[in-house]
Each structure stands twice: as C-alpha cells, then as structure tokens.
Structure 1
Amino acid sequence: MGRNYQRNFGVRISKIKRKFNVRNISNVRDIGNVALDSVIYPLYAVIVKSPNKDAKKVFVSAGVHGDEPAGVYALLGFLEDKIERYLDDYSFVVLPCLNPTGFVRGSRFNADCIDINRDFKEIAESKEASYIKRLLRRQQSNYAFAMDLHEDRTDKRTEDIPIHKNPRGFYLYEVSYDRKTRRGHKIIDSMKNDGIRVYTDKKVYYCSNENGLLWKPKLIHHKEGTIEEYVQRYAFNAFTTETPTCWPMKERIHAQITALCAALEEFKNVQYASGRYATAKARYATR
C-alpha cells in the first residue's frame, strides 16, 4: 500500500522542526537524500539536547522497512507529545523514517530493491545505510541504549514458517554484554502491566523466546548486516521492537510508544561509568 510522504510524514516533521526551533534545543537535520521517480526524499535526523549536561544519550529509529509503518508514526507521536518529559534525563538522536522510498511504496525494500536492514556492512550498497553510518560516526556518542522499531508482517510467509505461525503479539529483541546487563524483561513487564498483548510462545521463528524477550549477548551475530548489529559499537544495549500488523494501527502505535517510554524509565538509574559496562565497552571498542 502506497503512502503520501508529504501528508503522512513531511507535514508532521515540519511542525516538529518549528516546535523545537522555538525552544532552541534541537535541530532537524537532512542527513542525505534518496530519489524515487525523480522525486527527492530527505532522510531526517531529529537531534534534541537535554539542558542537563550529565544526561544520557539515546538513539531511536524506525521505518527501515517501508511496509512496517507503525514505528514511523510512533516516533512522530513521541516527538510531538512525549519527549519533553524525558529531557531532564536524556538527549536524543531520532531517525523517524530510515527508508522514505519504501515507506511511500509500502515496500520492505528501498527504491533500488535493497533491504537496508541487511546492508549495515563494511561497505554499504544503499545510500540510506551509508548516511546513517556516517551520522553515527560523526556523533561519536556512547548511547545508553538504541531502539529500532519494527513490525511483523502477519500476512506474509517468513522464511519457511507458515503464515498462521507468525507471532500475533508484541515481542522484543535485546542485545547486551551479558545476562546481568539485560533490561528487556523490565520493558516487557511494563508492556504487560499496560495491557499490551505479549507473545509468549517458546519460539519466535527459530529464536528462543523468554516470555516476550529474545536476548543475545554482544560481540556475536554480526553477519546479517542489521542496524541492531551495527549500532552495538555505539550503544550499551540495543533493542528491536516488533508489533504484529494484524493489530489495528492505533494499537500498534501505542505499543511502540509504550516500549520506548518503558525503556526510558528503566535506564534512568542505570550507570555506565565504571565496572562491567566500562570494561565491556573498552573490550568491544578494540575489536
């Protein structure tokens, strides 16, 4: 299903830009352009700075697959209505729509038929992955966490899994240094407390599922070329959210925003300056 980029995204991002420009705490950057049928689409990064010099930093993204729109709308809604309550504790880098040409066409792939979320490799084929990697390098930040918002297409076959076995609830991927540094189970608990349906079957595709959390340690699984893999070098914890597309759009957006807000609440009191986090970060940086 195609979408009008200006109506569904451009108008809202322009209002967000004006809102933050008035307060002089943010800028909305065009980090690069992509094209479809001679129409140019900018890739936007919304960078919002906390007035607190000791604030943690967070990297949030959505829309790397253009047929998973709820994350895009969720980040726009978060920037419009909720981000202010977290600015004492966090500065943000938000990329609301990583794949504009896929979003317009309702396609997983970009205009060049590349799956951007398999392109975060040493040399990226897509402009989108190259732009995002360049932004992350220039920011040179240690993010408390990164979160990439995704959806599960419940109307399509995934690998060799029958359609009827596609997950019909929310679940969360997490990458952290070890089990002691996991935070995903707390996010899942918040989702359940909010009445959001969490997918608890023991397997999600071929991955073990711990009551809605699919966890794996850092320093491995660097072969697929996903943004989750790439951002590990800049973030202590990396999350990927998943909502099923069989849910109503409003419910999917609510679940995505709830997951982000739950993570922000959870990480307020997490410290990274010493101990296991600093040791692990230094070890990872040498690889």
Structure 2
Amino acid sequence: MKTAILATLLAFAATPTLAWAGAVDAPTRFVEAEGRRLAYRAVGTGRPLILALRFRGTLDSWDPAFIDALAKDFRVITFEYSGIGRSTGARAGTMEAMVDDVRDLADGLKIDRFVLGGWSMGGAVVQEAATRMPDRVSHLVVIAAGPPGQAFWVPEKAFLDAASKPVNDLADEEVLFFRPSSEVSRAAAKASWDRIHARTGDLSPPVIPAAFADQAKAVADFRADTHGVSQFLFTTRMPILVVAGDRDVCCRVEDWFALSGRLATTRLLVMPQAGHGPQHQYPEEVAAQIAVFAKP
C-alpha cells in the first residue's frame, strides 16, 4: 500500500504544470445574435473581461499563458468578429460593425457590465465601444494600439510586409509582435509561439486575405476619429490602461506621450524590450497589472 501511494505521489509531482491548460482546452462556443453566430471561448469564473482581437486574428491568436493568467481574476471571454474564423454573417469591415459584435456578444451572454480589452486593431475597437457604451464598460484596457487621430509614427515597412503575408511563421511574428534585435524578446517569441500551437484541435480557419482590406478600412476610420473617441478620452471618468511595448513597429507608444496632460483617466504601462505584443512577451506580469488596475 505504501509503495502504491508513493508511486502516485511521485507521478503527480512529475506531471508538468498546466498553467495554461484552461485556454488550450477551452471549447469554442457560439452566441446567436441578429441572424449570425459569434464564436467565443471563455476561461475562468470571475468578473467578465471581454477581449477584442487584433488585425487578422482568430481565437487561436491569443497566447494561452496570458488568457489563463487573466483567468485567475476574471471570466475571460475571447471572440471572433462577424465573418471571421468560425463566426458567421457579413464580415465586420467597419468600426461600427465590430462594436456591434462586442455589444451583441455581451447581450447574448447576458453580461450587463464588463471590463473590456483589445489588442492592436482590437484596441481601436474597444476605444470605439467604450465611447458608445460608457454605462456598460467598467474599465478599458488598450494593448499595443494608438489613440485616434493622425499618428505621428507610422507602421514600419517590415511590419507591413509581414502583416500582408497570407500566412505568418515564427520569423514573421518576431517582427510583428516582438523585438527581433533583442535576444530576450526573440526567446519570448519562441515560447509564446509554442504555447499558442499547443492547441491542436477545435481550431479556427485563418483569416482570408480578402478580409485584410476590410479591416484596414476600419482602422483608417478609427484614425479619422469620426465618432468622437478623442473627446471621450479627454473627458471620461472610465479608468483606462494602455499597455505598450517600448519599441512597437506598428503603434508607437510615443503617440500616447503626445497627449500627455490631456487624458482624463489614462494610465500607461510600457514593457521593456517589447514590441507589438507585450502581453505575449510578459503574459503573467501584464495580466497581473490588469487585475490590479481593474480591481473593483
């Protein structure tokens, strides 16, 4: 009997940690809304945190380590825009349509009030959504995205070249979301890539190139600031956290510096030796900062 118990304990101790098993195994579910199905996944049991995707992203674009670290404090809900991945309906090619996706997802899940976050293009989407739904968003998290209006820094050619490829490999993602010049960042890119690709089933199809132009138009609409997002940022009482890499080749953190003194409630967190995916390079640390920021 003692031998059997000892063997069991040794086997348990030898089992690798499942720090991100929740996100890897989370099933894809669907919400019926306005004649379409929105694909989503949920991990955790805390307050709802809805996360909006980057340009050409799917449910499988999030680093499981980041999602599971957030899930210690939130019910983390990731989703795909209309017509993207496994979501049906007409492709969401405008900011208004993407905001509708956020609202309809929350309605379908019967979530009245939530923390809202978005990465890259998703960071633009959630700024628009918070402007339109200020009574429903308790805290806003903007990851690797700039403010509305004309950017002082434009995306670098290397980023645009990689972003326009039909399929990206690890080398592309080092350029897109990390800092290739940094050994620390390259190692983080490989670790994140491995975690993301640990999920082998229930995957979403990649975003087709025809959708790239639609999403680019939506980002241009945000840049034009046709919906009063800047005024919202200058006057809101909603707590806002911007998470940025110190060397983002797409959305430079310097664009936020230019608004210093005018932003009513915005906090800025800059991660070192990081690019356009700081939450994938520092998943646990960024998640912990978000949990402190959004503490009720």
TM-score clears 0.5: no
Report the TM-score when normalising by structure 2: 0.39
Larger radius of gyration: 2
Q: Which has the higher contact order (CA 8 A, sep 6+)?
A: 2
